[in-house]
Amino acid sequence: METARYILSRFGQSLFALLCIITLTFFLARLAPGGPFLDEKAVPEHLIEQMNKNYGFDKDLHIQYFLYLGRLIQGDLGPSLGNKGFSVNEVIAEGFPVSFMLGIVGLIIALLIGVPVGVFAAAKRNTAIDYTLMAIAMLGICLPTFVIAPLLGELLALNLGLFDVALWENSSAWFLGALTLGLYYSAYIARLTRGSMLDVLHQDFIRTAKAKGVAPMKVLFKHAFRGGITPVVAYLGPALAGLIGGSFVVETVFGLPGLGQHFIKAATNRDYWLINGTVTVFAVLILVMNFFVDVVQAWLDPRTRSRN
Amino acid sequence: MIRPFPTAVFLRRISSSIRTGLAAIVACSLLAGCRTETKVDVATREKILLLGNGGEPKALDPHIVSSVGDANILRAMFEGLVTYHPSNDMLHEPGVAERWESNEDFSEWRFFLRKNAKWSNGDPVTAHDFVYAYNRILHPDMAAPYASMLYFLKNGEAYNKREIEDFSKVGVKAVNDFELVCTLESPAPYFPDVVKHTTWLPVHRPTIESFGKMTDPYTEWQKPGNSVSNGAFYLTDWRINAYVKVRPNPYYWDKESVKPKGINFYPLDNVFTEEKAFRNDLIHYTYTMPQNLIERYKEMENSPLRIETYAGVYFYRCNVTRPPMDNLDFRKALAYSINQETIVKYVTMGGQQPAYGFTPPSEAGYDPPNVVKFDPDKAKEHLKKAGYSNGAEVPEFTIIINTSEAHKSIAVAIQDMWKKTLGIEKVKIENQEWKVFQQTVHDVNYEVSRAGWIGDYVDPNTFLSMWVSNDSNNNTGWSNADYDRLMKESGRISDPKERYKKMKEAESVLLEELPVLPIYWYTRVYLLHPDVKNWNPLLLDNHPYKHIDLIAD
């Protein structure tokens, strides 16, 4: 009963946050100078007026806002202004799977690298190996994806010929994109794993286990690992949302048709409906992930519920 | 004491998994090594042209687009009355029109259409399709951004501005299915050049109207499966930010001479990605080229680098309504202290020509007045005349540019030249994001702003008509009665030589008044795979794709 009430209240909070995000985005996009119909070769004033009329931008802003909300409830995100003939729904439906795949594969790579490295570093804490691994991880965190991505492209695609360096169709470039994201996040995960493993390794039950003569590998994997990995699991939700939303750079560097590109280009094109649409999708994604994590945590740890 | 971990065991486990992984990678690379045929090789064999095309098209509707990349795709899909010659911008290739003639003063043009021209669904292309298309692009409800290209037609502008309601008063008539008459606002001996432009392409009425009204600006008619076009190719696939594909139109009248079996356009808007895609043998052609790699490509043997003259000018606009730019002598001082040669040689490095005038010199025989040249003494003299005994007295002003490294380095160079020659200390450079920049220029809310202009057709008119008072591309606040009169007079002259003389007079006025500071004339800098044959340098860079062949080099 208590759990149900908690879930309900978290759901309500999420919905409220979503409405705030949608509203803010709508008005902020409109406040930005410039407009969707300006072009390098000037468009005469009378035509810009007509275009505003064709798209309903001549009405009062608050009326447009309510019309937009009305359409949104029906699941209609409106037409794209920068990709004529396409609706925002279509643009997102095409782009989201690409970003989602990059995110999932990136996350798997991040876990495959990050967790073993973290565990190993924790096992060898305060040795040269630990310091080296963590220094590399720190470097990985500091190197932005726009440095890693071209480097990987140059090395793995152009020098070694293992992958294609760009394009989507019949191309392996997407894997380089996922790898870039994976390497970047593996650095975080390695540090996170190491930290939480160390916490666990210092606890009494580990000492007891060791005192009883349990094999060190068994202590590490059977006794410590489960506890040590929990914070990493909690991090997965937000990490996936971040991976999917943060793939703009790799999408540009490898020419991939994901949602990240639309997220940025919509803003520079003043493609109002696409700005609102992509922001809404990312907001929903992050809210759902956080909601899910909160609920799972509440399930596991009753203290979270009572605190709320 | 805590026993240390048996490292050996741990390492062995990890290393065995690493070894498996390495084996997989080696196997992969061996497989890749076996694949000696690259993507470009396969495409050449299948005769599919793979082109980098800048950015994602805004639309594939000839009445909506305005960018060069979009026009490239439309040129493959649609065919106008007259089309581009594969190697010479001055020559015309018959398109839908087999032949054409004009009256004596070039104000009325008669196009005789071929009877075998077909849409990609088999329908015949008739003169009525052109009348319908011109009505659509000029219709005020359509709000086509580039409708002004059709202001050549009599009453075209009035109809577009709702001054007249009746389209039959606009100067275009279908005499019968295969004869089209265009009556012009004023004589235009170069009219066949004008009708090559994308805005003059026909559209298929039943297709457009099965997805909405004639004037609905964003229907689904332009998508693959819906789109019907009359060119050598038709649209088969379009995925946003991934590709646009066209394949041969089975009903095209000249399908025997169409060489490519298809074209894939890739919207690679990151220049570095595009260059890498080329180096990786994924595309035959790059839309452009990173500036910092030009030198390296120049040094290569059998370099794929191409540098060709392009009908465009890079210049700065001056807002003549705002001090200090409202002072003619001050503008002259600025213009004469820009060393254009230094800029093309050490900053842009792409073989550009220093612009001593505004209109680029072309094969059309027009020779612009070459008067704006670097002359530090003259510049200093004009600074004095402008009322400043030295540059330090000049009030602060700003050059605005849209965010880009290339524009920034040019602006920095010019800022430095003004400082060195004139001693002007307070010149600021301000970056503005693209749309903000467009708004600022549109509102004439600046002192100096960066600009570029690419010709729409081969005639000085495409460069000079924008400086007439109140033209929507003027945006400098400059207005000159002499200039307006000379341009108007030139529009009434049918003899090309006399016309050019008049236009040169007009351009001299422009360069004397200097609402613009010309900097350089463009070049096209790009990479082209040796498999691509019959791709010739063209001033307007409008390649008719049907002639381009792919033969393994």
Across residues B25-52, what is the average pLDDT? 77
Whether residue B72 sits in one domain with residue B4: no
End of a domain among B232, B254, B272?
B232
* Alpha-carbon distances of B182 from A134, A165, B115, B173, rounded to whole Å: 75, 50, 19, 7
For residues B113 and B179, is the Cβ–Cβ distance under 8 A? yes
Interchain contact, B436 vs A33, CB within 8 Å: yes
Domain boundaries, given as residue ranges, for chain A? 101-267
Across residues B156-167, what is the average pLDDT? 94
Whether residue B497 sits in one domain with residue B408: yes
pLDDT at A306 over 70: no
Across residues A175-185, what is the average pLDDT? 93
In a domain, B544, yes or no: no
Pairwise CA distance, residues B167 & A285, whole Å: 51
Residue scoring higher pLDDT (A299 or A123) = A123
Whether residue B335 sits in one domain with residue B468: yes
Cβ-Cβ contacts under 8 Å, B476 against chain A: none
Alpha carbon A308 to its chain centroid, in Å, reads: 27
In a domain, B23, yes or no: yes
Mutation test of the interface with chain B: which of A30, A39, A212, A265, choosing the one with the most B Cβ atoms within 10 A? A39
Residue B19 belongs to what domain range? 1-34
Would you place residue B404 in the very low, low, confident or very high pLDDT band (cuts 50, 70, 90)? Answer: confident
> What global pTM score does this model have?
0.89
pLDDT at A41 over 80: no
In a domain, B261, yes or no: no
Superfamily (CATH H level) for A101-267: MetI-like (1.10.3720.10)
Whether residue B224 sits in one domain with residue B363: no
Interchain contact, A50 vs B140, CB within 8 Å: yes
Range from A64-73, A199-208, B188-197 carrying the lowest mean pLDDT: A199-208
Pairwise CA distance, residues B138 & A92, whole Å: 33
On whether any CB of chain B is under 8 Å from the CB of A245, the answer is: no
Range from A66-80, A221-235, B422-436 carrying the lowest mean pLDDT: A221-235
B406-439, pLDDT tens digit by residue? 899 999 999 999 999 999 999 999 999 888 898 8
Whether residue B380 sits in one domain with residue B443: yes
Interchain contact, B266 vs A255, CB within 8 Å: yes
End of a domain among B232, B253, B283?
B232
Pairwise CA distance, residues B86 & B445, whole Å: 42
DSSP 8-state code for residue B522:
E
On whether any CB of chain B is under 8 Å from the CB of A261, the answer is: yes
Whether residue B63 sits in one domain with residue B13: no
pLDDT at B68 over 70: yes
B507-531, pLDDT tens digit by residue? 999 999 999 999 999 999 999 999 9
pLDDT at A119 over 80: yes
- Count residue pairs from A and B with Cβ separation < 8 A: 185
Whether residue B379 sits in one domain with residue B418: yes
Interchain contact, B276 vs A166, CB within 8 Å: yes
In a domain, B45, yes or no: no
In a domain, B76, yes or no: yes
Residue scoring higher pLDDT (B6 or A301) = A301
Residue B101: CATH number of its domain: 3.90.76.10
ipTM reported for the complex, 2 dp: 0.90
For residues B435 and A34, is the Cβ–Cβ distance under 8 A? yes
In a domain, B176, yes or no: yes
The count of structural domains within chain B is 3
In a domain, B228, yes or no: yes
In a domain, B539, yes or no: no
Whether residue B90 sits in one domain with residue B17: no
* Residue B167 structure tokens: 């389209």
3-state helix, strand, coil in chain B (%, to 5): 35, 20, 45
* Residue A139 structure tokens: 């470097």
pLDDT at B312: 93
Q: Give the CB-side neighbour count of residue B135, counting CA atoms within 13 A.
A: 18
Cβ-Cβ contacts under 8 Å, A33 against chain B: 435-436, 439
Map tokens 């924790």 to a residue: A122
Q: Report the gap between the CA of B386 and the closest CA in chain A (Å).
A: 32
pLDDT at A307 over 80: no
Interchain contact, A257 vs B242, CB within 8 Å: yes
Interchain contact, B473 vs A42, CB within 8 Å: yes
Would you place residue A245 in the very low, low, confident or very high pLDDT band (cuts 50, 70, 90)? Answer: confident
Interchain contact, B242 vs A169, CB within 8 Å: yes
